Copies of this chain bind each other. A is one copy, B any other.
Amino acid sequence: MRYHRIPAETVRRLPVYLNALLLSLQQGKSISSSELSAIVGINPLQIRKDFSYFGGFGTRGVGYNIEKLIKKIKKILKLDSHHQAVLVGAGNLGSAVLAYPGFAAYGFQIAAAYDSDPAKIGKTINNITIEDAENIINLKKKNIKIGIIAVPRQQSQAIAQSLVNAGVTGILNFSPCRLAVPKRVKVITINIATDLARLPFYMPADKKIGFALNKRA
């Protein structure tokens, strides 16, 4: 079964549900959309709609079987097998990525890290020894398909090209720029400025502006 029709916004929420469900496994066998809503902060109606894309299997008054739901979401997201990824760029951001505790829950493992700075090559961070970025092409033999780019903006396009040449088909990009890659390659860009830029919209108006606006939130 394939799941082409699932909207991108639902795909964006599925890992959030998955994370919450994995944490809820200890608490019981089933979970209602309202209970899940309380954990993830997403409207229960939206949750039920998202789950309806892959067949409604909740039972009214009982909720969703947690284990079944985890299995289903993992299958849809192709997280039912483990994935190895490589990191390029071992600066502050890259080092934070190497130490990030959240990947294992989704079955991801960072298998190698690269940098072009001779001062960084050979160093070990979180059990990973930084290799020369010249060696990225060797990934081909390792059949690793996911690359994480945490290099300065000016270098990111060249690194994306090296990764694609080495057979990578999925890129998580931290550079605030759009990468040109072949159509078969999926890029997800994390731009922390665009996330920060959403914040003021939701913040209450400053008291100085006027009391009438104070209550919005």
Q: Say yes or no for A15: interface residue by CB 8 A criterion.
A: yes
Q: Which of A64-72, A92-100, A133-141, A158-166 contacts B (4 or more CB under 8 A)?
A: A92-100
Residues on B with beta carbons closer than 8 Å to the beta carbon of A41: 178
Interface stretch, picked from A29-37, A55-63, A112-120, A184-192, is: A184-192
Separation of A192 and B148 alpha carbons in the complex (Å): 11
Contact of B178 with A196 in the complex, beta carbons under 8 Å: no
Residues on the B chain within 8 Å of A198, using CB: 11-12, 14-15, 77, 188
A85 in the interface (beta carbon within 8 A): yes
Chain A contact residues (Cβ within 8 angstroms of B): what range? 35 or more
Whether B195 pairs with A188 at a CB distance below 8 angstroms is yes
> A197 near B2 (CB under 8 angstroms)?
no
A76 in the interface (beta carbon within 8 A): yes
In the complex, what residue of chain B is closest to A206 when comparing beta carbons? B145
With a cutoff of 8 Å between Cβ atoms, the chain B residues found around residue A28 in the complex are none
Which residues in chain A, 102-117, are within 8 Å of chain B measured between CB atoms? 102-103, 105-106, 108
Q: Is the CB of B203 within 8 A of A15?
A: no
Contact across chains for B145 and A172 when beta carbons are under 8 A apart: no
Q: Does A122 contact B (CB under 8 A)?
A: no
Residue of B whose beta carbon sits closest to that of A201: B77
Check if A216 is an interface residue, CB within 8 A of chain B: yes
Residue of B whose beta carbon sits closest to that of A80: B200
Interchain CB contact under 8 A, B146 and A199: yes
Q: Taking the complex as formed, is A157 at the interface, i.e. its CB lies under 8 A from any CB of chain B?
A: no
Report Cα–Cα, A49/B108, bound state, in Å.
36
Chain A contact residues, CB within 8 Å of chain B: 2-4, 9, 11-12, 14-16, 18-19, 39-41, 76-79, 83, 85, 91-93, 95-97, 99-103, 105-106, 108, 145-146, 148, 153, 169-172, 176, 178, 183-184, 186, 188, 190-204, 206, 216-217
